[in-house]
Structure 1
Amino acid sequence: MAIILFDDNARNTLLPLTYTRPVADLRIGILTIAEKWAKYLNSDFSFRTEAYLQAKFPINIQDDNIFINGSVCPDEDIVEAIKNLGNGRALRYNNTLVAVRLSDVYASAFDPFGSYTFEMAYDKELVTIQHPEDIFKKNDTELRKDFKLLTQGRKSAKLSSTNTIIGDEFFAEEGALAECCSFSTLNGPIYLAANTEVWEGTNVRGPFALCEYSQVKMGTKIYGATTIGPYCRIGGEVNNAVVWGYSSKGHEGYLGNAVVGEWCNIGADSNNSNLKNNYGEVKLWDYPTQSMRKTGLQFCGLIMGDHAKCGINTMFNTGTVVGVSANVFGGGYPPNYIPDFSWGGADGFVEYAYDKMMDTADRAIVRRPHRKFDAAEKAILTEVYKLTQQYRNF
């Protein structure tokens, strides 16, 4: 049986985060949504996504296929319901297609917006990701679920006795290192993946996850619910943020109520605001409507797409969206929406020259010996560059 994770309209409402990946490749909690489904179903997975993403995220159709909505985070109840689906049967939640089981004859014609003859309604609560802010907003729930999924029945590796661990929900994989740090699990679990390092003087309050090969620098202050993806380096003050992977915030400065994509770099002493001075509701730029959208949140900070970067002392206002491969620098507050492939700051923007952007991406990726800036990666950035041209009206 093949598990195929599909995109629906959430792909558009999650932009710019989904310009460079399928929805199910979003990280929330400890794992990506796709990795969660793989764990729950004990199965491999593939993706049904935009054509320009399929080379990197291929689809694998077999004789028996279950298409699962990539914006849905699994739990035991929905997994059991999906396992019990018969051929040709579909499951819906609040008018959204959650899953459908199809043979190979019908799988190639799968339509995420289509109707299916045998449909059932799922009436239990589900965690779904529809907008960028949902990722930090629902990270607490998913961190706790993933912590249980990954650690149940297992024993944590031992850390150095120089550390202070408060509470019982702490788990370190073999190879995790920490010295002279404090970890409080009174408000939620803490998970340190293999080959991670937490440097001296760091204070962590859960829920928190540090993924493979990431480092937390000396004196860092981390508040839950925060996730640091693989191969990151983090410093300063971080609160309720999700950093997906291969990104750096290595110096002082505040990052809060935020989502940061892959291959991003946040310069020293950069900060984002997460609360308006009048304590009002925060709005975020919405790609489908090309306007500001109400979030219903009082605390909402920074949304940053893949390959975006900012210089030292950058100040991001409350509810700022930074597009893919944007490069932000200079004094003052840049606007709340910074288009993809922009170059500049509060004094104005120009287009980030395509060749220079590609060269920078290449330099960033080749620093990781197990990753390559291959034809698939280049094709994705090239297509996103074309798709976002209309927004760069400088």
Structure 2
Amino acid sequence: MNFILFDGPRRNHLLPFTFTRPVSEIRVGILTLRERWEAYLKDSVSSLTEDYLSIKYPVNIKDENIFIDASVLPNDDLLKAVKSLNSGEVLRLGDLTIAYSSDSAKSDDELTSFKIAEFAGEFVQLNNTWDIFDKNPDILQSDFDFITKGRKSQPISETNQLIHPERIFLEEGAKVEFSMLNATDGPIYLGKNSEIWEGSLVRGALALCNNAIIKMGGKLYGATTIGPYSKVCGEVSNSVIFGYSSKGHEGYLGNAVLGEWCNIGADSNNSNLKNNYAKVRLWDYATERFEQTGLQFCGLMMGDHSKTAINTMFNTGTVIGVNSNIYVPGFPRNFVPSFSWGGASGFTAYQPAKAFDAAKVMMARRGVEFNEVEADILTHVFEITKKWRKY
């Protein structure tokens, strides 16, 4: 059987992160949604996504396929139900299409003729951007248990102070020296060739993914994921960084999500709690209005390639689009469209040619080429986000 993850109805609620990737490439816990399904299925999967993303993320459709909503995370019961689907059957929970078996992709109307199999179990789903950090504690714990089951950690240097070392796992090449690791509230996972530099304080849960770095004196706590090749320092709480991004200096990042190729300037901070302790509202691209998250703590959502200057400040519940550059004093408004340049005193459009020049240099520093495929995706994002830019 051939497995395909489709974006599904939650795709627009997960913008700005899905402007530049399929839903399946969102990272939460230790793994991306695709990597997690591949690990459970013990098979490769492809992604059915927007046309402009499909060159970078091609779909592989065969004669017999099972299409799975990428926003749904696997577990043993769900895996069994998905794999048991026969051609012409759809797995549902209420109005949600979890998966269906078909020779081709189908619309909701076309699925009405399929035989329905009702799923009675439980599973985790990413419905909104804030779910990425809010559900990270349970997902990270589940990933840790799944990945480390029956395996032995690499040795941990005796220069460190450890609390609950049985819940700390180092992959091959991971390094940590003269730091404090406390796994009381959650596991600590260090991916291949990741590093924690001297003087860092880590209180789990933490996923430090392959080749990521916590610089000297980092303070991390509250179910935080640092994606591959990212660098962090300062204070980070209950946040998810997808990969290749830098928050390399002092400053606070809390209850936040950063995409790839972001850079947070020194001493930049986000608020994650309103002064009146009210529940936080957050911009939702699907409804084009601020929606109630139901959360008291909610910080910053930042799309790929966005950056801040030193001493930048963000209000509680701020959404920054793709390729925006925030650099002037004061709090910018709490929704900044993609390709914006400026800050509290106003914005202008950040033209793609200039944005691409910066991306080429930043990506080259990590040995990654900014090619025509990347340029075409970002050009398309520039065009489809014009309606939110009033400049």
Superposed pair shares fold, TM > 0.5: yes
Indicate whether 1:161 and 2:150 are aligned.
no
Instruction: Give the match for residue 244 of structure 2.
Output: 246
Counterpart of 1:101 in 2: which secondary structure?
strand
Q: How much does 1:63 deviate?
A: 2.3
Does the CA-based 8 Å contact 1:343-1:349 persist in structure 2? yes
Matched AA of 1:314: T
Does the CA-based 8 Å contact 1:260-1:305 persist in structure 2? yes
Partner residue of 2:146 out of 141, 145, 149: 149
Q: How much does 1:354 deviate?
A: 1.8
Q: 1:116 to 1:195 in 2, by over 3 A?
A: farther
Instruction: Give the match for residue 111 of structure 1.
Output: 107
Instruction: Give the match for residue 232 of structure 2.
Output: 234
Instruction: Give the match for residue 58 of structure 1.
Output: 58
Q: How much does 1:181 deviate?
A: 0.6
For 2:195 and 2:348, locate their aligned partners in 1 and report how far apart those are by CA, in whole Å: 39
Matched AA of 1:57: Y
Partner residue of 1:319 out of 311, 317, 323: 317
Q: How much does 1:112 deviate?
A: 5.2
Superposed CA offset, 1:100-152 (max 9, x none):
1113xxx1x42256424211111222110111000000001110111011110
Structure 2: 5+ residue stretches without partners: none
What are the equivalent positions in structure 2 for 1:1-394 lying under 5 Å apart? 1-103=1-103, 107=104, 109-111=105-107, 114-167=111-164, 168-369=166-367, 371-394=368-391
Structure 1: 5+ residue stretches without partners: none
Identity %: 52
Does the CA-based 8 Å contact 1:7-1:112 persist in structure 2? no
Q: How much does 1:374 deviate?
A: 1.7
Does the CA-based 8 Å contact 1:33-1:73 persist in structure 2? yes
Matched AA of 1:36: R
Matched AA of 2:257: V
Counterpart of 1:125 in 2: which secondary structure?
coil
Q: How much does 1:302 deviate?
A: 0.3
Superposed CA offset, 1:52-84 (max 9, x none):
000001000112211000000111110011111
Matched AA of 2:90: A
Superposed CA offset, 1:140-174 (max 9, x none):
11101110111100000002110112112110001
Counterpart of 1:255 in 2: which secondary structure?
strand
For 1:116 and 1:228, locate their aligned partners in 2 and report how far apart those are by CA, in whole Å: 44
Q: How much does 1:94 deviate?
A: 2.9
Counterpart of 2:328 in 1: which secondary structure?
coil
For 2:55 and 2:273, locate their aligned partners in 1 and report how far apart those are by CA, in whole Å: 40
Q: How much does 1:289 deviate?
A: 2.3
Q: Give the structure-2-normalised TM-score.
A: 0.98
Query: Which stretch of structure 1 is more off in the superposition, 110-119 or 320-329?
Result: 110-119
Counterpart of 1:46 in 2: which secondary structure?
strand
For 1:155 and 1:311, locate their aligned partners in 2 and report how far apart those are by CA, in whole Å: 42
Figure out how many residues of one structure are paired with residues of the other and give that number: 389
The alignment yields a C-alpha RMSD, in angstroms, of 1.0
Superposed CA offset, 1:35-64 (max 9, x none):
000000001010110000000010001122
For 2:195 and 2:167, locate their aligned partners in 1 and report how far apart those are by CA, in whole Å: 19
For 2:265 and 2:226, locate their aligned partners in 1 and report how far apart those are by CA, in whole Å: 17
For 1:325 and 1:115, locate their aligned partners in 2 and report how far apart those are by CA, in whole Å: 40
For 1:119 and 1:22, locate their aligned partners in 2 and report how far apart those are by CA, in whole Å: 26
